[in-house]
Structure 1
């Protein structure tokens, strides 16, 4: 066990203890406990009001919004009246330091996928979407740079282009590598074709969020560096997700998110559409009722189900973070079932997840709906699929060519677990 991790764990406990002692010492034990209780009550009120805001409309929603704003403000004013605002600020700094040190102590060092030395492609074919990522293709001169490196490039210059047919035709014409500069949905589509024909795939981080590129350790700030793989690259073999007969590289989502993005109004007004549809969606009144089957466990009525190509960090219940590996040969399966304001407050506050959240790692998962078709968000794109929907993993299905020199996957900080942290802090040097 690393002495650095042990020391970080001990630092976390010292900072947490110092935060509590600070309040009790400055305000006195009785007053200090009252101040801590006020902060806890304010947090609970704010979290409960946030859930009320999402699940109601009209006057009730905006009253809840007022409480969301006033709850922390009231606690701050209360501390200021006691002339202890500086204590609150210092308490927050110490507690933030405790959590940061604790999560770094709990982070397990991981190795990336095995790299394979392979010859550079002789006939690479790249598909580029100039509208993706706010125009990164043009801004970074990706098409010109790729052609200078010997690649054939197709820049999508009209709507409703059949990207899959472009990729298949390129293979018929002798392409020995397929690549995409675009969003994760297009990446997934072409990646499935590359895997089907056993040719390597090149990811160019020209999308908006670039989740797939993040988990491959690519440079998301400068997508032109991804082109280095054409001349100085290595291959990694990673898994692919399968939903029905469709490939996904990141995740497939059911329930609240999928129902919202299915709305025709979502593209033009994301925030307004989300707020308008969430009340019925979270209450189970909008969209089909779901039932998840995974590893012999059945979850009835979850508001949201996320099935990912390899598991996300345990602290990430929305699939917005990162996956430490893409070659574990397993799906990450997560279902969220919230029965009311109390469950929501515990969930948002990081407590009560064992009751509201199911987390599993499996090779298959089945989602059934009470309707013949169910909305699914597949790598950010909304589609309708016949129920039941089966998700599976395809281990090591995709050969990805990546630059030899790349940033790498950033360290993943796990959810704070004080029990594990205590064991780590006082473990012997021989452990």
Structure 2
């Protein structure tokens, strides 16, 4: 006996492609109607402004011009905003033209209804969906806004007008513009996750402490110790500039066999201002002498990286010369290792120096986030971990970094400090004594969630100590390989060092 045939009921969740096609057609019709409404609008304002604005945005010329103005402003936040905006724009342009425009073919609108005086001179022939001009506009505006909110807000309005100009001149449908805005904004947001913006920490810090100092436009009372071989010979240029700009200053050239600290202490005995030209290691030695003698320090950048000088706002010898002429002295923090060694920038154990070198080499070929991820994975895989005891807990780490004052951004690729006088140490530790630690850390880094990983520790403290579990470990600091320590204690000497530096314009 046959069993009764069961009727097949339509699934509640079956994909109805015909309904989707109807929705798509409806949106396309609405898109065309909005285009016709804008195209037929009788507006002298649109006629006068839309075509010039659209042409200005061709090949992103408008955005590159704005980025150049921000870069020349001299304000660090504006310069960072320009760099991020251009980088976001470049990625967006590549994605839009090489990927997004190939997904779905959509013809350009017919611009016959657009007034001739508003119509573009040349009708584009590429795919209409999405609008490349709009994608670049959104990418640049939001990219700059991530670093500098007020600038991004103004540029957001300008980006909206650029999008409107693409419709008003007959180049795109409104839907193309919205799709372009979405692509540009998405890439900017993803970029902010991979490379977080540099911003003030939420830690409350009192206003900068500044001393009144007599102006020294000719360098009277200044004794400068300069390493002529620093920075692959940049020190020689520092000496030549000082002889011209500060004729009353005494200049001492550091020889290859000279003891740096002894020469600095001898110079401090007859100086009113102790000046130093060289890399971060030489500047750190001068800071130790300056602390002991109570003299203000003048730093002339002459090394390869000049991290301390750059974070002071001193990028050229002229910056320090101008600060001496104006008497601009500010007090900054120094970190002390076992109350003996001065640390101006960072100290590390394990393989952090190797990580930095690897990342720098890879950045010439790849983006910074990808280079950071690859360098981190390589360092964790190849480096022998170090075991240290912190507050009674043993931590196995390959990468340990301690900074004098708080660094930005968070994570394990800090690049700069906004302040050098917050009274805190910035401690960052990657823990590797766990199963699949390298893979877990790499995944967290790529996802932009390293700060939330249980294997990553980031602390802001006035004092930090550790003990080496398996014997003394080498502590490198300020670009120099230091001594070995069984027990190490770092503490902040709060605003203990007076330094000539320009007033910030952030």
Please tell me the TM-score bracket, short chain as reference.
0.5 to 0.7
Corresponding residue number in structure 1 for 2:499:
400
Corresponding residue number in structure 1 for 2:91:
none
Structure 1 position 368, deviation (Å):
3.4
Structure 1 position 292, deviation (Å):
5.8
SS at match of 1:229: helix
CA spacing shift, 1:103–1:270, aligned 2, 3 Å: closer
Corresponding residue number in structure 1 for 2:279:
183
8 Å CA contact 2:428, 2:458 repeated in 1 = yes
Structure 1 position 389, deviation (Å):
2.0
- Aligned ranges for residues 212-231 of structure 1 at < 5 Å? 212-218=308-314, 220=315, 222-231=316-325
Structure 1 position 182, deviation (Å):
0.9
Partner Cα separation in structure 1 for residue 236 and residue 24 of structure 2 = 60
Corresponding residue number in structure 2 for 1:364:
463
Structure 1 residue 104 corresponds to structure 2 residue 153: no
Partner Cα separation in structure 1 for residue 385 and residue 468 of structure 2 = 6
Corresponding residue number in structure 1 for 2:419:
325
Structure 1 position 373, deviation (Å):
2.7
Moved over 4 A (4+): 73-81, 83-93, 106-112, 274-281, 296-299, 408-411
Q: In structure 1, which of residues 282, 297, 317 is the aligned counterpart of residue 380 of structure 2?
A: 282
CA spacing shift, 1:131–1:99, aligned 2, 3 Å: same
Structure 1 residue 252 corresponds to structure 2 residue 325: no
Question: Which runs of 5 or more structure 1 residues have no equivalent in the other structure?
Answer: 1-23, 29-72, 412-431
- Deviations, residues 344-390 of structure 1 (Å, cap 9, x unaligned): 13214422422143221111112333442323331111223222222
8 Å CA contact 2:385, 2:398 repeated in 1 = no
CA spacing shift, 1:386–1:118, aligned 2, 3 Å: same
CA spacing shift, 1:247–1:308, aligned 2, 3 Å: same
Normalised TM-score (structure 1)? 0.64
Q: CA RMSD in A?
A: 4.1
Corresponding residue number in structure 2 for 1:162:
259
Partner Cα separation in structure 2 for residue 386 and residue 375 of structure 1 = 6
CA spacing shift, 1:229–1:25, aligned 2, 3 Å: farther
Structure 1 position 320, deviation (Å):
2.3
CA spacing shift, 1:171–1:340, aligned 2, 3 Å: closer
CA spacing shift, 1:171–1:255, aligned 2, 3 Å: same
Structure number with higher relative contact order (C-alpha < 8 Å, ≥ 6 residues apart): 1
Q: In structure 1, which of residues 379, 384, 389 is the aligned counterpart of residue 488 of structure 2?
A: 389
Partner Cα separation in structure 1 for residue 443 and residue 505 of structure 2 = 30
Structure 1 position 311, deviation (Å):
0.7
- Deviations, residues 45-92 of structure 1 (Å, cap 9, x unaligned): xxxxxxxxxxxxxxxxxxxxxxxxxxxx99997756525797496657
Q: In structure 2, which of residues 479, 484, 499 is the aligned counterpart of residue 380 of structure 1?
A: 479
Normalised TM-score (structure 2)? 0.55
Corresponding residue number in structure 2 for 1:350:
448
8 Å CA contact 2:408, 2:415 repeated in 1 = no
SS at match of 1:199: coil
SS at match of 1:168: helix
Structure 1 residue 94 corresponds to structure 2 residue 138: yes
Partner Cα separation in structure 2 for residue 277 and residue 360 of structure 1 = 23
Number of corresponding residues: 326
CA spacing shift, 1:390–1:93, aligned 2, 3 Å: farther
8 Å CA contact 1:308, 1:333 repeated in 2 = yes
Corresponding residue number in structure 2 for 1:341:
439
Partner Cα separation in structure 1 for residue 350 and residue 504 of structure 2 = 30
Structure 1 position 329, deviation (Å):
1.4
Partner Cα separation in structure 1 for residue 407 and residue 392 of structure 2 = 20
Structure 1 position 279, deviation (Å):
7.0
Partner Cα separation in structure 2 for residue 311 and residue 329 of structure 1 = 9
Structure 1 residue 307 corresponds to structure 2 residue 402: yes
Structure 1 position 398, deviation (Å):
0.7
- Aligned ranges for residues 86-165 of structure 1 at < 5 Å? 87=130, 94=138, 97-105=141-149, 107=199, 113-120=208-215, 122-139=220-237, 141-145=240-244, 148=247, 150-156=248-254, 158-165=255-262
- Deviations, residues 131-175 of structure 1 (Å, cap 9, x unaligned): 223433433523413650x1111122x324211000111233x22
- Deviations, residues 304-347 of structure 1 (Å, cap 9, x unaligned): 111111111243633322x1211121111112236132431321
Partner Cα separation in structure 1 for residue 245 and residue 473 of structure 2 = 40
Partner Cα separation in structure 2 for residue 304 and residue 281 of structure 1 = 8
